Structure 1
Amino acid sequence: MATEVLMPKMGLTMTEGTIEEWKKKEGDAVRAGEILFSVATDKLTNDVEADTDGETVECKTIIAWIGAQGEAIPAASSSSADPSAAAPAAPAATSEAPQATAQTVERAPGGFVLATPYARKLAKEKGYDLSRVPATGPKGTVVARDVESFTAGPKTSPMAAKLAAELGVDLTGLDADGRVMKADVLAAAGKAVAEMRNVPVGVQGSNDEAPKKVDPLRRSIAANMTASWLTSPRVTYTRPVDATAMKELRAKLKDGVKERGIKLTYNHILMKVVAKALTEFPDINSSFADNLLTHHPHVNIGLAVAKGTGLIVPNVKSAEAKSLADIAQETEGLIAATREGKVSMEDMTGGTFTISSLGPYGITNFSPIINQPELAILGVCDMVDTPVVRDGEIVIRPMMNLCLTADHRVVDGVMASKFLQRICELLENPYMLLV
């Protein structure tokens, strides 16, 4: 009996994957445990077991069948997440009986639809979402003539269709490269917002190069940032901090931890301090959805890491319960794994707060975008020797701006200010971490 191969779902946030390379071609013998294909998610590329080339499909969609030589491919079944993606069977004449009028059937976008095998084949070829096709067959069955007479917009994934309905995006005029995906809908929604605000979205010049499709990582970043921009009413609060004590702390500890093979950085100290502060502000170490606030029992701090032309955010789990040395060692391991493309999906999910540091690039002020579904993100800026007044005298101090972007649905100005103030207190007097 033939066995279906599905696009795997590698992590709670993964909705689609792109097949990068097929290790097996049609007709090849397949043994258990052999690698069938490599699939790229929004952040990782993994070797899996399956069959096509460079096509992005929804998770749990049938993408191949494994069976005995000469065995017939099964027709679509209701157990598939996307029945229209399965290989078609021959059309059944009895299913195409005329029906006077189309039946109105309430269906969720991308959900299972009662349809003849031939109708599924036509819908797949045309790139139609069967859930949008009116049915004229018996008991609300979509038949071939329904698909042939259906007028639709561009080819659209079920997730994109659902999101377009929620955001009010018109798919008929959407200019997409091939099938319309979730990222295309989010980009269109962002463009619409920009146009309403009279913000220029780009000028096409005669000498411009032809546009190129971006890689899955950049598409994911674009989609996630657009979603965050549309979800969270955000405010950024900036506060200077005297980094003298933090520099002294690192100078006193770095040689001792170096003997243990640990490289101590300012980011590690910041992560330890922020973890402590978040235990005192549980509303910030939370997520908010459907008017429900969820307090997370542990502080999982993510650190934005550059990889190629994008950013990936692995996170240190339960940072509030770990020593500075443990945080430093685990963070450096995650950074190395990220840049080598070996970081796991578990390391990149479950974060409750993110730190983004642009200090090494000379940035002194910026507004980081919240990493959903978190409620805040801390931007860390460059340390700059600055004249300040201490005890009535002008002295030079290494001053550093901290920029906290917070979701104003939960974190109002007073809470954000107190949280940022607490972080600065701990950085300027790190011995308070021992209290």
Structure 2
Amino acid sequence: MALEILMPKLGLTMTEGTIEEWKFKEGDAVKKGDVLFSVATDKLTNDVEAEADGILLKILLPEGETASCKAVIGYIGQAGEVVPTAGENKIEAPEETRSDNIGIQAEKTDTRAPGAPVLASPAAKKLAKEKGIDLVSIPGTGPKGRITLEDVEAYLAKPQPAEGEAGQKTSPMAAKLAAELGVDVSKLDVQGRVMKADVLAAAAPAAAAPAQGSNDLPPVKVNPLRRSIAANMSASWATSPRVTYTHPVDVTAMKDLRAKLKDGLKEQGIKLTYNHIIMKVVAKALTEFPDINASFAGNMLTRHIHVNMGLAVAKGDGLIVPNVKSCEEKSLAEIAKETEALIEATRFGKIAMEDMTGGTFTISSLGPYGITNFSPIINQPELAILGVCDMVDTPVVRDGQIVIRSMMNLCLTADHRVIDGVMASKFLKRICELLENPYLLLT
């Protein structure tokens, strides 16, 4: 019997996955342990191995399409084995595309990817097959839009499908869709009854090109990472009454510190950056402000024992925030080594889920892009995030004299439910004190 290939559940928070690439084609021989396909979640891309030897008999979920965890997305078996037909497989749309409103169950088929199944009871399938009815045209009233025997019987009791001007038979779903898309079914060159797929194919050329006089290209579905970012940022914006505080800091001493340490660390294979020094400084400051190294939910403040310092890392067209655990306990060299390893793993898609969870504070650096001021959005459930800006040579007054110093803005966005202006100002002032006098890290 053919073995089902399931969409894996790769973490407690994963609800759906998107096929990035099938490593084999239908009909290819695969061995247990071979990488069968890669799947993208809202944070990671993982390779999934075959669980048995055999032939890749059927791919149900094409590359770029999404399915819920534990949905059947293909079959492995022996040559000649029969796999379930399209109406019998089990792929379901993700929860966010489904509705519990029975009154609109007929529209569920509109959201199916090409070749995706229609859920139906065995009795409903049998009757539909006997009567030559395409299940896609029947509204389902069962759980999750499942088509029941009663649905098929109700469909048979209705008048026959409409006909076009040339006598072309059209399914109800196709007729409804044709009216919405402006497709004349009487002009379609289709053998037999016009189905939904025929209407969509006829409408595709018009949908593919911008409307005359329009400057818009056809919309495209964003990847899982961007969908996750959109959801998380929207949730953060709605959750936290936030205020951003900006404080300039003289980073001349920090630059001198890096210059003195980087060559020695380079000999050990460690790359020291300004971000590493800032992470060390902020971790020390957070130990002095436990209400900032905390989270808030249900009117309860949870202070965290350790500082798990997150650093926003660009990946493709999105951001991922791995974090260095117990940053306050680590030396500058340890922070640098661990951070660079996390950045490399993130950019090559090899980051582990545990490296992206449990963060207590985040640093976002836009200095390399010339940004001198911005308002970062808090990475929930954390209470604050520090934006690091560009270092700019600036004329300042020192001891009554105008001198040129390397200045940098720090932008702290804080959750005002817990962190008021005084606490945020004191925290920023302490970070600046440590950066301008890095020897204080030794105290």
Aligned to 2:333: 325
Change (3 A) 1:284 1:5: farther
Change (3 A) 1:298 1:291: same
Aligned to 1:211: 219
Q: Indicate whether 1:22 and 2:29 are aligned.
A: no
Unmatched 5+ residue regions in structure 2?
A: 51-58, 94-101, 103-118, 129-133, 159-172, 178-211
> Could you tell me how far 1:38 is from its partner in structure 2?
1.4
Structure 1 residue corresponding to 2:349, chosen from 308, 316, 341: 341
Aligned to 2:72: 62
Aligned residue for 1:377, secondary structure, equals strand
Greater shift in the superposed pair: 26-35 or 390-399: 26-35
> Could you tell me how far 1:394 is from its partner in structure 2?
3.1
Q: Indicate whether 1:85 and 2:92 are aligned.
A: yes
Maintained 8 Å contact 2:23/2:37 = yes
How many Å separate the matches in 2 of 1:299 and 1:45? Answer: 27
Question: Residue deviations 1:83-124, cap 9 Å, x none?
Answer: 7739xxxxxxxxxxxxxxx9xxxxxxxxxxx98456799999
Question: Residue deviations 1:227-247, cap 9 Å, x none?
Answer: 322232221111111112211
Structure 2 residue corresponding to 1:295, chosen from 303, 309, 319: 303
Paired residue type of 1:42: D
Aligned to 1:10: 10
Paired residue type of 1:85: E
Change (3 A) 1:134 1:10: closer
Aligned to 1:254: 262
Paired residue type of 1:210: P
Aligned residue for 1:36, secondary structure, equals strand
Q: Indicate whether 1:32 and 2:32 are aligned.
A: yes
How many Å separate the matches in 1 of 2:153 and 2:289? Answer: 60
Question: Residue deviations 1:233-272, cap 9 Å, x none?
Answer: 2211111111122112112212221221222111000000
C-alpha RMSD of the superposition:
4.1
How many Å separate the matches in 2 of 1:62 and 1:212? Answer: 25
Paired residue type of 2:62: D
Paired residue type of 2:34: E
Change (3 A) 1:285 1:65: farther
Maintained 8 Å contact 1:63/1:85 = no
Q: Indicate whether 1:304 and 2:312 are aligned.
A: yes
Aligned residue for 2:301, secondary structure, equals strand
Structure 2 residue corresponding to 1:53, chosen from 53, 62, 83: 62
Q: Percent identity?
A: 73
How many Å separate the matches in 2 of 1:238 and 1:119? Answer: 65
Maintained 8 Å contact 1:273/1:426 = yes
Change (3 A) 1:212 1:136: closer
> Could you tell me how far 1:300 is from its partner in structure 2?
1.5
Aligned to 1:418: 426
Change (3 A) 1:293 1:316: same
Question: How does the TM-score come out when normalised to structure 1?
Answer: 0.69
Aligned residue for 1:343, secondary structure, equals coil
> Could you tell me how far 1:365 is from its partner in structure 2?
0.5
How many Å separate the matches in 2 of 1:391 and 1:380? Answer: 27
Question: Residue deviations 1:20-67, cap 9 Å, x none?
Answer: 222345565554212222112233322214752132122233334545
Change (3 A) 1:385 1:353: same
Q: Indicate whether 1:222 and 2:222 are aligned.
A: no
Question: How does the TM-score come out when normalised to structure 2?
Answer: 0.67
> Could you tell me how far 1:11 is from its partner in structure 2?
3.3
Aligned residue for 1:222, secondary structure, equals helix
Unmatched 5+ residue regions in structure 1?
A: 77-81, 87-101, 103-113, 155-203
Aligned residue for 1:252, secondary structure, equals helix
Aligned to 2:272: 264
Change (3 A) 1:227 1:255: same
How many Å separate the matches in 2 of 1:417 and 1:127? Answer: 60
How many Å separate the matches in 1 of 2:395 and 2:15? Answer: 51
How many Å separate the matches in 1 of 2:74 and 2:46? Answer: 17
How many Å separate the matches in 2 of 1:6 and 1:391? Answer: 70
Aligned to 1:96: none
Maintained 8 Å contact 1:133/1:147 = no
Change (3 A) 1:266 1:358: same
Matches within 5 A, 1:22-421: 22-26=22-26, 30-49=30-49, 51=59, 52-54=61-63, 55-66=65-76, 70=81, 85=92, 116-117=121-122, 131=143, 206-421=214-429
How many Å separate the matches in 2 of 1:67 and 1:145? Answer: 36
Change (3 A) 1:135 1:28: closer
Change (3 A) 1:253 1:28: closer
Paired residue type of 1:61: A
Greater shift in the superposed pair: 314-323 or 120-129: 120-129
Paired residue type of 1:236: T
Maintained 8 Å contact 2:139/2:145 = no
**Corresponding residue pairs, total:** 353
> Could you tell me how far 1:404 is from its partner in structure 2?
0.8
Aligned residue for 1:85, secondary structure, equals coil
Aligned to 1:427: 435
Change (3 A) 1:259 1:25: closer
